Chain A
């Protein structure tokens, strides 16, 4: 498009660009600037501290490391189970029958709930004394599996991850269904003629063809996992003993409980870089499995 010839068309981009700049670009640039200061978020003055905040995070902040490790555990669990479940459900629900459409809507339903509501529902499910989960386990003679789902430090992060998977699987299912429905049927016919088994059909036809959808699902799931602040905050507040602390909850705590905005900004910048690196790595890995267009 020629800019000189279509100046008026670019005017239509302006409102969006202005809003995007105000609410995303400027705060991001501000965060980077503050990350080099010791600003407490309240005082009009602050000192420029250079790379001190970054050096402190890397060399002298055991909670940041703990939160990062928790985040990786959380992300891997959610990434694997959310992707697998949503793909399996999508393959079962690919045809547009009335039942399938109803089931897709049903699975999608948790996505429209607010995360705080989801947190309350699952906190109740996990309650050690009156919770549904332990009660059901008791009633089917599996009482030995009863756990303090959110109180056990080794288990809590995975319990919250299960909630996250339940929360968003339906959303990813819809993306996979769209991807699966776009695969030309003649590819399967050719595979059948070649004597391909079910696994071969999936491996050599389905997976390469839905790789673009998988890329979106996995990238989105990864970013969601790193940003699962509201769910974790409402369910455990990062406890017990930091066992469910992730980077997002830690940054909130640093900024709004300790009032170290400069330090929290540095944590946020590292957080952004981590998400960007993981997402780029995922795109590259999944690009390899895509069919040549």
Chain B
């Protein structure tokens, strides 16, 4: 049986590797290890290609014995195939991982090289790289820091004399004023990333304990409990009062970005990573970040949501681990991380980085605020994650919060059995 599995896996891996192509000839080095040869670097961020090309050129100049062969996959494809590609060690000497279920799966397959004790870890903010730790071992280092909470048109808010609210009633009043002024309060990309993003800030204070989804997956908490039903009820309220854009479940992220950029909508329910896209369409727009506080102000424990992602890792099956670590070390350097941050418009977890753009500077304050790691990424079972997201779509589509929660809990129960 094992033979069949090995043969099948190798065949599948070979086929996939062949299909995705790549920009180079793979690992042509004859020398394994020792910080030499061609290493394969795989990730999902096509929008970062230019800056990585620049950084790789610099790296190869500084390390003439090491070449980097970068292959970029669409993120959906990356999530589904990266694990298979990494298995035989010839692809993805350096790879990136999403936190959450993908990290869990890669870890279970034993594909993370333990990076604990590496000197370059000292360049990072200790708190922000905990997402890359499993059983106290640093399996990966998240390079990016994003805030998964609504982006808002700060110029418009100022013009209308509005400020982000500090409780739920205040948030509803804010939305009402925006609506009365003729704006769509929230552009909600409900057909793709919206539910999975907005749920985080909507639930962060309804269930302030960070282990809530861990408990859900252990059968100790339920989606039919108060915290999730209340979250769904608040989604329902936003929908019923016309605070979400019309036909939000048919709206994708690109379209929602356009609504904010064109100043039809005042807020965009995705995250800080969308700011560059908004600015590209409307360079004059002033942007900020806010998070809906869904409780009384005094009860709120969290101010926002962060995700440390794009987790750099070294493949445990790689034959060029030293060279791979050298490249990760290079990316962890403050100057190189600054280049990456400023050219991609993203915050990074490396300390002492100088942010140049106004947006990055203005949102840097969130690095010091009381933000919580994205709860959705703590759902390590993909079926349960889908059920949670589907219950939001169900409520926005007209179902009652109780029925939607019941339906989602049924799927959770099926997965726990």
Chain A interface (Cβ < 8 Å from any Cβ of B)? 30, 33, 39-46, 56, 60-63, 123, 126-130, 147-153, 236-237, 239-242, 252-254, 256-259
Residue among A126, A128, A130 with the most chain B CB within 10 A?
A128
State A152–B417 Cα separation when bound (angstroms). Answer: 32
Instruction: Give the distance in Å from the alpha carbon of A40 to the alpha carbon of B394 in the complex.
Output: 30
Cβ contacts B219-261/A at 8 Å (1 or 0 each): 0000000000000000000000000011111111001000100
Cα distance A138–B303 when bound, in Å?
42
Q: Are B390 and A242 in contact (CB under 8 A)?
A: yes
Pairwise interchain contact B414-A61, C-beta atoms closer than 8 A: yes
Give Cα A149 to B191, complex, Å.
11
B191, A258: Cβ atoms under 8 Å? Answer: no
Bound-state CA distance A42–B102 (Å) is: 12
**Residues B410 and A44 in contact, CB atoms below 8 Å apart:** no
Pick the contact of A129 from B105, B246, B249 — CB < 8 Å? Answer: B246
**Which residues of chain B have C-beta atoms less than 8 A from A123's C-beta?**
252
Contact A259 B8 (CB under 8 A): no
Question: Contact partner of B390 among A30, A129, A150, A239, CB < 8 A?
Answer: A239
Q: Contact between A43 and B250 (Cβ–Cβ < 8 Å)?
A: no
What size tier do the contact residues of chain B reach? 35 or more
Docked-complex contact A152 and B2, CB < 8 angstroms: no
Q: Are B84 and A42 in contact (CB under 8 A)?
A: yes
Q: Is the CB of A239 within 8 A of B393?
A: yes
Contact A258/B383 with A128-B251, A150-B250 known, Cβ cut-off 8 Å? yes
> Please, how many angstroms separate the alpha-carbon atoms of A254 and B382 in the complex?
9
B residues less than 8 Å from A151 (CB atoms): 190-191, 247-251, 397
Can you name 28 A-B residue pairings with CB atoms under 8 Å? A33-B4, A39-B5, A42-B109, A43-B108, A44-B5, A46-B1, A62-B414, A128-B246, A129-B251, A148-B249, A151-B190, A151-B249, A151-B397, A153-B394, A236-B191, A237-B192, A239-B249, A240-B249, A240-B397, A241-B393, A241-B397, A252-B80, A256-B80, A256-B81, A257-B80, A258-B101, A258-B382, A258-B383
Q: Are B397 and A42 in contact (CB under 8 A)?
A: no
Given contacts A148-B249, A253-B386, contact A259 B410 (CB under 8 A): no
With a cutoff of 8 Å between Cβ atoms, the chain B residues found around residue A252 in the complex are: 80
Report whether B246 and A43 are in contact in the complex, using a CB–CB cutoff of 8 Å: no
B160 at the interface (CB under 8 A from A): no
Extra contacts, 10 of them, besides A43-B109, A256-B79 (Cβ < 8 A), are A40-B105, A42-B84, A44-B2, A56-B417, A128-B246, A130-B255, A151-B397, A152-B397, A241-B393, A258-B381
Assess whether B295 is interfacial by the CB under 8 Å rule.
Answer: no
Pairwise interchain contact B382-A257, C-beta atoms closer than 8 A? yes
Contact of B325 with A by CB under 8 A: no
Residue in A closest to B111 when the chains form the complex, CB atoms: A42
Hey, which chain A residues are within 8 Å of B101, CB to CB?
A: 257-258
| Nearest Cβ on chain A to B192's Cβ, whole angstroms | 7
Q: Whose C-beta in chain A lies nearest to the C-beta of B87?
A: A42
**Alpha-carbon separation in the docked complex, A41 to B411 (Å):** 22
B402 to chain A, nearest CB (A): 15
CB-CB contacts below 8 Å: B189-205 with A: 190-192
Q: How far is the CB of B167 from chain A (nearest CB, A)?
A: 30
Partner of A241, one of B4, B109, B390: B390
CB closest chain-A residue, reference B398: A153
CB distance from B199 to the nearest CB of A (A): 14
A241 adjacent to B108 (CB under 8 Å): no
Chain A neighbourhood of B190, CB < 8 A: 151, 240
Contact partners of A256 in chain B: CB under 8 A = 79-81
In contact, A240 and B6 (Cβ under 8 angstroms): no
User: Are B250 and A128 in touch, CB under 8 angstroms?
Assistant: yes
Please, which residues of chain A bring their CB within 8 A of the CB of B363? none
Residue of B nearest to A26 (CB): B8
B83 interfacial contact with A, CB 8 Å: yes
**Considering residues A60, A148, A149, A236, which has the most beta carbons from chain B within 10 angstroms of its beta carbon?**
A148
B90-112 to A contact mask, C-beta < 8 Å, 1/0: 00000000000100010011000
